[in-house]
Amino acid sequence: MTTKRQRFHPSVILVYFIRNIRSWIFLIFLLFINNNSFFYNALALGGIVLFVLITSLVKYFTHTYQISPERIIVYRGLLKKRETDISYDRIQTIKQRQWFFFKPFNVVEVLIETASTSPGEAEASLSAVDHSLVDTIEQYRNKEYSHENTEENEQGVEKNKIHFALSNKDITLYALTDAKAILILLGIFTFITEWIPEEMFTEVGTVVDYFQGFLIIFLFLFVLFAIALLSLAKNFIKFYRFQSSLKNETLILEYGLFERKVQTIPLSKIQGIRLHKQLVRALFNRSSVELIIMGGQEKEEQGLSSVYLFPLIHNAQVYEELANFLPNIPLQKPLIQKVSQKRLWYFWRWKLLIGIPGIVIGFNVNLLLGIGLSIVLIVVLLLALKATHTQGYTIEDRRILVLQQFQGLSTIQLFIAQKNIQAFVQSTSLWLEKSN
């Protein structure tokens, strides 16, 4: 096995180039919409591309790694050199990513996270290595070299039968009930309104006035269709061929279309789980199960992503599958003690204090604005009412604490073992304290 410093696979240069060019994308976009001089714009674009290419090549020649039976060491830097030294007992999770152009070379990116990892960041990244190196790291990590025998392999095959897969039908249902797509569409609409000339909006307004209600209905249906398409594309790219399995006390999560990701998580590193029961998905008897792991939340463009064990699962199968996948965390359907059903005022007071003056001001400015703010306040109050009937807790077998609350459009149950609880935080105010 290699104990010498190695360079990553040359295909990593393309990865470095793509990631570096992203940081220049806004400036490149400005060059395209700048009509002053084609020659100078092309010259600036060429300069940016050349600079990004040179920095990518420098990164390729200065980033190396070394694997030994004791540790993984990653070297980087040209003028300021840096070494990241990780012993196998510090590793919390190992993730794999495989860009589509890595597949012909059987190459993957390996992200290694430890307990000291900052949220959303891997402590070390092996940017492009042969896939067989992942097995070698796992063997060093599990100290299995001296234990390889036929009996264990047979047990491994048996444990591999614990398997969950997300069908295309489930991905479609998840996408069509994903409220995040609306936020994406709002972001695109805001971007368009910033760059489209006002004259175009005036012309659109004239056409809308001409056709009156018919065009408004058409635009409403078009927006719904666009949201659905966006959500389908986003979630199929993310969850394509999603599968989770349990092998040798380690969970393996695999998913992704253009960028295939594999995450391995030892059962001992799992802190707890969250069960999401979204209002719309509840109509289809479906829930989502999210893992809570130390240092395991991956950072995406819009924040930390969730680590789903089951992105979508039938409610009747939740606890049976959890018992198969997490035998060290005995879970059962909790009997929640509701604690807020007679506390509606505490959930409404700030919303009414801010909302009612806002509605009064809205009606004075514009009738439609006042009606819109009234609808928003009614929705917010109804969601708060739902929260009062949801919030609660229970303790199962003196070992598992279950907290239930309502967030956004979902009832969320947090299951966490007593031994994994680090601390409690209690907060109150003078008025709440007087009211006990």
Q: Write out pLDDT tens, residues 354-402.
A: 988 988 888 888 787 888 888 889 989 998 898 898 899 998 877 889 9
Higher pLDDT: 405 or 419? It is 405
CA distances from 343 to 33, 336, 384, 431 (A): 55, 17, 11, 14
Q: Kindly tell me if the per-residue pLDDT of 208 is higher than 70.
A: no
The encoded tokens of residue 153 equal 């392999």
Is the distance from CB of 21 to CB of 31 less than 8 angstroms?
Answer: no
Any idea which of 127-131, 209-213, 233-237, 308-312 has the lowest mean pLDDT? 209-213
Q: What are 320's two structure tokens? A: 């049976």
At residue 35, the pLDDT reads 60
Whole-angstrom Cα distance, residue 374 to residue 360? 9
Please name which of 329, 310, 332, 331 lies closest in space to residue 268, comparing C-alpha atoms. Answer: 329
Six token digits for residue 187: 């972001």
Our CA dihedral for 126, 127, 128, 131, rounded to 10 degrees, sits at 40
Per-residue pLDDT at 29? 74
Q: How far is the C-alpha of 289 from the C-alpha of 410, rounded, in Å? A: 12
Contact 345, 381 (CB under 8 A): no
272 in Cβ contact with 420 (< 8 Å):
yes
Plot region of 128 (φ>0 → left; ψ -120 to 50 → alpha; else → beta):
beta
Q: Are 358 and 378 spatial neighbours (Cβ–Cβ below 8 Å)?
A: no
Least confident span in 23-27, 159-163, 232-236: 159-163
Band of pLDDT at residue 153, cut at 50, 70 and 90: very low
The reported pLDDT for the residue numbered 103 is 80
Report the 3 state secondary structure along the chain: CCCCCEECCCCHHHHHHHHHHHCCHHHHHHHHHCCCCHHHHHHHHHHHHHHHHHHHHHHHHHCEEEECCCEEEEEECCCCCEEEEEEHHHEEEEEEEEEHHHHHHCEEEEEEEECCCCCECCCEEEEEEECHHHHHHHHHHHCCHHHCCHHHHHHHHHHCCCEEECCHHHHHHHHHCCCHHHHHHHHHHHHHHHHCCHHHHHHHHHHHHHHCHHHHHHHHHHHHHHHHHHHHHHHHHHHCCCEEEEECCEEEEEECCCEEEEEEEEHHHEEEEEEEEEHHHHCCCEEEEEEEECCCCEEECCEECCEEEEEEEEHHHHHHHHHHHCCCCCCCCCCCEECCCCCHHHHHHHHHHHHHHHHHHHHHHCHHHHHHHHHHHHHHHHHHHHHHCCCEEEEECCCEEEEEEEECCEEEEEEEEHHHCCCCCCCCCHHHHHCC
Mean pLDDT for the chain? 79
Share of the chain above pLDDT 70, in %: 81
Tens of pLDDT along 313-364? 999 988 988 888 888 777 888 888 888 888 888 888 888 999 889 888 888 8
Q: Which amino acid is at 183?
A: L
pLDDT tens track for 236-246 = 888 888 999 88
d(CA 366, CA 333): 50
- How many whole angstroms separate alpha carbon 429 and alpha carbon 388? 19
22 has pLDDT over 70 = yes
Q: Which of 136-145, 179-188, 301-310, 352-361 has the highest mean pLDDT?
A: 352-361
For residue 297, the number of C-alpha atoms closer than 13 Å in the C-beta half-sphere is: 15
Predicted confidence band at 210 (pLDDT cuts at 50, 70, 90)?
A: low
Quick one: average pLDDT of 143-169? 60
Q: How far apart, in whole angstroms, are the C-alpha atoms of residue 255 and residue 59?
A: 28
pLDDT tier at 303, thresholds 50, 70, 90? very low
Cβ-contact 249, 325 below 8 angstroms: no
Q: Which of 266-275, 284-293, 379-388, 416-425 has the lowest mean pLDDT?
A: 416-425
Question: Sorting pLDDT into bands at 50, 70 and 90, what band is 184?
Answer: low
Q: Please determine, for residue 158, whether its predicted confidence score (pLDDT) is greater than 50.
A: no
- Measured from the Cβ of residue 38, the count of other Cβ atoms closer than 10 Å reads 10
- The 10s digit of each residue's pLDDT in 187-202 is 666 666 555 566 666 6
* Residues 75 and 64 sit within 8 Å (Cβ to Cβ): yes
| Pair 111, 97: CB distance under 8 Å | yes
What's residue 117's pLDDT? 56
Distance CA 410, CA 85 (A): 41
Here the tokens at position 78 are 């040209």
The model's confidence at residue 288, banded by pLDDT at 50, 70 and 90, is very high
Q: Which amino acid is at 177?
A: T
pLDDT of 156 reads 47
